[in-house]
Amino acid sequence: GAPQDLAGRHVVVSAGGTREPIDPVRFIGNRSSGIQGYALAKVAAARGAKVTLVAANTSLPDPAGAAVVRVGSALEMRTAVLEAAASADAVVMAAAVADFRPVTSATSKIKKREGEDTLPIELVKNPDILAELVLRRTPGQVIAGFAAETDDVLEHGRAKLARKGCDLLVVNQVGEDLTFGAPDNAGVVLSASGPEREIPRGSKEALAAVVWDEIAALLG
Ligand code: C5P
């Protein structure tokens, strides 16, 4: 069986992609499948952790041993993650959280209008949950994020790790047919306190195992 190096630990993982409502039937979404976050939850549970999985718009079976909290929008994810994080030893933000949401969500379905060929939708920035977790960090708590980049992956990743103030940041390259919805992934784990660790292309479970190795080492 797996090492029980997370026994007695409570960990929180976010997964999936948020949907930001435009009206009752429409949303702004993204291509995240949730597979990487679910793999993180599954691996942590197998290694003995108590796992809270905050899942946004996924259609995957609940991972064995994880308590699943379902959310839709970034604001819902913020509430669920911050609540669960208050009692957590580690938090991994694997979800793709929308950076912006429509300023208002129409209460009834938006209709096409005669003579109007454009429909402006004004967006407002969502709170950065990862940055907020860092501000509210409890003593000894480990906080990790993911960063999907399409170019200059390492440079953007290093800058983001410094800006967000988290302990670990997993960076990976994304594109039309890389990573999203795929069973495999590759990346580099950036650490605020240790060396960078390259993870060759392999299963999302294998990448999850490396992330938990790093987190277990930081938890001591
Ligand atoms: O800045 P960027 O969106 O690339 O950062 C990615 C990381 O930040 C991910 O771990 C994601 O879950 C987290 N994030 C967040 N709240 C946001 C946007 C991103 O927690 N509003």
ipTM exceeds 0.90, yes or no? yes
**How far is residue 59's CA from residue 175's CA, in Å, rounded to a whole number?**
21
Q: Ligand 1 center to residue 116 CA distance, Å?
A: 35
Instruction: DSSP letter for 160, please.
Output: H
Bridge partners of residue 67, in order along the sequence:
52
Residue nearest ligand 1's atom 4 by CA: 147
pTM greater than 0.90: yes
Comparing 32-46, 109-123, 132-146, 171-185, the range with the smallest average pLDDT is 171-185
Q: Ligand 1 center to residue 168 CA distance, Å?
A: 13
Q: What percent of the chain has pLDDT over 70?
A: 98
**How far is residue 33's CA from residue 55's CA, in Å, rounded to a whole number?**
10
Q: According to the annotation, is 109 in a ligand binding site?
A: yes
Q: Which long-range contacts (CB under 8 A, 24 or more apart) does 178-181 make?
A: 179/36, 179/148, 180/31, 180/32, 180/33, 181/31, 181/33, 181/35
Strand 123-125 with 100-102, pairing: antiparallel
Comparing 20-29, 76-85, 103-112, 173-182, the range with the smallest average pLDDT is 173-182
CB 18 within 8 A of CB 77: yes
Arithmetic mean of pLDDT over the chain: 95
For residue 85 and ligand 1, the question of a CB distance below 6 A is answered with no
Q: According to the annotation, is 27 in a ligand binding site?
A: no
Could you tell me which residue, 172 or 71, shows the higher pLDDT? 71
Q: According to the annotation, is 146 in a ligand binding site?
A: yes
User: Is the pLDDT confidence value at 176 over 60?
Assistant: no
Mutate to test the pocket of ligand 1, among 128, 170, 190 (most ligand atoms within 8 A of CB): 128
User: Is the pLDDT confidence value at 34 over 90?
Assistant: yes
Q: Tell me the three state secondary structure of residue 105.
A: coil
* Catalytic residue set: 30
pLDDT band at 178 (very low <50, low <70, confident <90, very high): low
